[in-house]
Amino acid sequence: MKSYYHKVFYHLYKLAIQSGETSVPLSSVIPTLAFLQIANVFCFFIVLDLVGLRVLTEFLTSKNMTACLVILAIIFMGVNYFYFSNQGRDKKLVKEFSKRPIEERKRGARMTLIYALTSIVLIFILAPIRVKLI
């Protein structure tokens, strides 16, 4: 799982550089990664709600949803920032994955795209189902 997490980081990092961000690619990669992680957490909570464990319904009301999102965003961005910027891990990962064969990098880029799209689309599929069941 850690290796896949590194691949996702690498492809987001490379995408940031290709889009013209040369100063600090981490400044766009970290929030993007945090957004995907928050989407995964909410999908997990929605699935728990669907199977009968009312975690999302009980604890995350509309009043504290914004606070929860902000807290999760700060936590995920902080953890990601310290994880990837510690001892130049971001540069080491980019160097390591850049050496891989082009076919492997293309396959990794496709998998990262599928992961990102699935993380976002799954919320839009599961949320209406959850609302109908409540």
Whole-angstrom distance, CA of residue 59 vs CA of residue 49: 11
Of 2, 39, 9, 7, the residue nearest 119 (C-alpha)? 39
Name the pTM for this structure. Answer: 0.81
Show pLDDT as tens, one digit a residue, over the chain (134 residues): 568 888 888 888 888 888 776 666 678 888 989 999 998 888 888 888 777 777 666 666 667 777 888 888 999 999 998 988 888 888 888 888 888 898 988 888 898 889 889 988 988 888 777 666 65
State the sign of the Cα–Cα–Cα–Cα dihedral 100, 106, 107, 113: positive
Taking CA atoms, 85 is separated from 40, 49, 62, 68, 107, in Å, by 23, 36, 35, 25, 26
Q: Where are the domains of the chain?
A: 2-133
Q: Residue 134: its pLDDT value, please? A: 59
